[in-house]
Structures are given as C-alpha cells and as structure tokens.
C-alpha cells in the first residue's frame, strides 16, 4: 500500500473515531495481508502530522493514542458551535485534582493535610464521575485507606501524553501575593 493511501486511511479513521486511537487499533484497521508494519504506520502518522501543520486540525498524541483535534488558536470560533458553557469547577475541585496529579498515589487524609481543610466526598465524587481520578489501591496502614491517582481520561482531557508533561511547579511561579494558590506546604516523600 502506498504511503499517501495509508495516510488518507489513518486520517479518515482518526476523524471518524472522535476519540484517541492506539497504534494497535490503527493497525487492526487493516486485514492481515494489507497490514503495514508498525514503523510504516508511525512514519505515516508523522507525515500526516506534518501535512496538517497550519491547518484547522492537528494530529496529537495523548496517553490513549492519536487523535485529530482543533488547535487552541481556533477554540474561540469552534466553541460557538456549542451553546452550553463548559463545566466550571470550584477552587476546591481544582486544588484537589492538582494535588492528586502531582502527588499520586495519595490518600484522602494526605490531601486534607496538604489543603489544610477537610475534603468533601462531593469533590472526590465529581473527579471520579468525570473519569479524572480512580482508586489505585490501598495503603498498607491502619484502616487500609484508598490511594487515588489520575487516569488516562485525565491525561487525554488535559492534552498530556504522560504525567511527565505536567508543568513543573517551578514554572507555575513562586508562591506569594501574585500566586497565593501555590502557597501549599507539600510534605516531603
């Protein structure tokens, strides 16, 4: 199969899927006798990414695989297609999610200790219903408390391929009058 044809098939599949597709899922699009090698597939994906530069969609790799998406520069126009406003989350929800993302796996009591306030079950339920966090196990301590971690959905939603892509806390700024939200005392691991 020619590379331009392979690129067209991949573009069509990614557009139709509406969600990230893994390399395996992309390879399984083809019958055994026409299946490209993994290397040929990755080369075609890279060429497709380059071909889409400067266009209205881009090919992006996230934790779950590859997806076509609208570049952020076009978000103001595309957002007008949906009348409903995007969900707004309270500061407590955002703080809790941030703590889990940077300190995972972490228990509820450790989150409360960092935030300095008790954690409502509604916050954890919201994050779990959204699919951004999950119970990743239980700590070997009295009461066997659940430990929480982020999910692939979290990575996909925030356009991250892995947790290594989270901005460093240093790049977010120093705690102080300009960034009081960063004035968290994190316990040392």
Write the CATH number of the domain with boundaries 3-81.
Answer: 1.10.10.10
Give 122-155 pLDDT, tens digit per residue: 999 999 999 999 999 999 989 999 999 999 999 9
Q: What pLDDT, on the 0 to 100 scale, is given for residue 86?
A: 67
Residues 6+ apart with CB under 8 A from 187: 110, 113, 114
Q: Is the dihedral of CA 97, 101, 102, 103 positive or negative?
A: positive
Q: How sure is the predictor about 168, in pLDDT bands with cuts at 50, 70 and 90?
A: confident
Q: What is the mean pLDDT of the chain?
A: 86
Is 163 buried (19+), middle (13-18) or exposed (0-12) by CB count in 10 A?
middle
Q: How sure is the predictor about 1, in pLDDT bands with cuts at 50, 70 and 90?
A: confident
Q: What pLDDT, on the 0 to 100 scale, is given for residue 170?
A: 65
Helices (H), the chain: 3-17, 23-27, 38-51, 75-78, 91-103, 108-115, 121-129, 152-157
> CA-CA distance, 59 to 71, in Å (whole number)?
9
Q: What pLDDT, on the 0 to 100 scale, is given for residue 172?
A: 52
**pLDDT above 80 (res 184):** no
Q: What pLDDT, on the 0 to 100 scale, is given for residue 171?
A: 56
Residues 6+ apart with CB under 8 A from 40: 3, 6
Number of neighbouring beta carbons within 10 Å of residue 176? 9
Mean pLDDT of 32-42: 93
CATH class for the region spanning 91-182? mainly alpha
Mean pLDDT of 91-104: 93
Q: CATH 1.10.10.10 region(s) of the chain?
A: 3-81, 91-182
**pLDDT above 80 (res 83):** no
């Amino acid at each position: 199969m020619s590379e331009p044809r392979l690129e067209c098939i991949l573009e069509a599949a990614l557009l139709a899927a509406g969600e990230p597709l893994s390399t395996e899922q992309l390879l399984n699009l083809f019958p055994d006798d026409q299946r490209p090698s993994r290397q040929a597939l990755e080369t075609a994906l890279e060429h497709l990414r380059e071909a889409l530069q400067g266009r209205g969609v881009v090919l992006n790799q996230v934790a779950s695989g590859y997806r076509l998406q609208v570049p952020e520069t076009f978000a103001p126009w595309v957002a007008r297609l949906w009348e409903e406003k995007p969900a707004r989350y309270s500061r407590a929800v955002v703080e809790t999610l941030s703590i889990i993302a940077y300190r995972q796996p972490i228990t509820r009591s450790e989150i409360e200790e960092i935030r300095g306030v008790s954690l409502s079950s509604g916050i954890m339920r919201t994050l779990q219903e959204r699919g951004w966090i999950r119970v990743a196990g239980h700590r070997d301590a009295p009461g066997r408390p659940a430990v929480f971690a982020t999910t692939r959905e979290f990575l996909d939603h925030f356009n991250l391929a892995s947790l290594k892509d989270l901005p460093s806390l240093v790049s977010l700024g120093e705690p102080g009058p300009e960034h009081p939200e960063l004035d968290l005392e994190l316990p040392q691991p």
